Amino acid sequence: MRRPVIAANWKMHKSSEEAEAFLRIFVPLWTDRRVEVVICPSFVSLERVAQAAGEIGLAVGAQDVYWEAQGAFTGEVSADMLVRAGCSYVIVGHSERRKIFNELDTDVGKKAQATLIHGLSPVICVGETMDERKAGLTGEVVERQLRQAVRSVERVEASRLVIAYEPVWAIGTGVTATPADAALVAREIRSLLDRLLGPGAGEEVRVQYGGSVKASNIAGFMESLEVDGALVGGASLDPAQFADLVNNSLSLREKE
């Protein structure tokens, strides 16, 4: 069975001191250790969070990475730097990176490859806009994005991938896809990975849902065994609320 994974994407929030304060409150409240929790703070807080997280069983991820190993790339951070800072995951291709910073599908592929080369697991974000959804293009958009993202991935690396289906229209809007929608896209992602990487690859990859996820709706998304967790934005900023979200995530599976 794939271990559920819930990642907190703090985006441009929390100083190092605020991050440590978050962990002091969150960790005692995190009771369901069947769920892997990944904290993704800003670059400036990574080392400090990693030092604290390593002692309490939390994983740490970065919010982005550059594909070159080193060089004259002002403002960028390499995969090797992230490893040395204590990371084990990296978010790549988030819709905000694509929209605000004009990140291309090919860029996401190079970033995913760089993370894998250095032993990190990429959390690859895919998802459609509202206009694309209304036009019935969800499957086409997800396939295009995913095809480029894994174009250099080897079959043996499949189990290290996390795919986050994040419909752009649901991120930070308070509007969510339905659990049935999320499960359907997750199944399509697994089928596509079987074609791109080889038979059985899709069953090894953990697929998350992201987009206005909170404690009150997480269990519905994860009731389906197709959805292995969530990439959480705003609802991950409050430690008590995030603990409720994590602890409640498998509650409906238990009732089956």
Q: What is the pLDDT of residue 171?
A: 80
Where exactly are the structural domains of the chain?
5-254
Q: Which residues are catalytic?
A: 94, 166
**For residue 187, which amino acid is it?**
R
DSSP secondary structure code for residue 160 in this structure: G
pTM value surpassing 0.85: yes
Please state which CATH number belongs to domain 5-254: 3.20.20.70
CB atoms near residue 102 (< 10 Å): 8
User: Mean per-residue pLDDT for 118-131?
Assistant: 96
Quick: pLDDT tens for 58-93.
999 999 999 999 999 999 999 999 999 999 999 999
Q: What is the pLDDT of residue 75?
A: 96
Contact of 133 with 181, CB cutoff 8 Å = no
Quick: pLDDT tens for 153-191.
999 999 999 999 999 988 877 778 899 999 999 999 999
Taking the C-alpha atoms of residue 181 and residue 224, their distance in angstroms, rounded to an integer, is 11
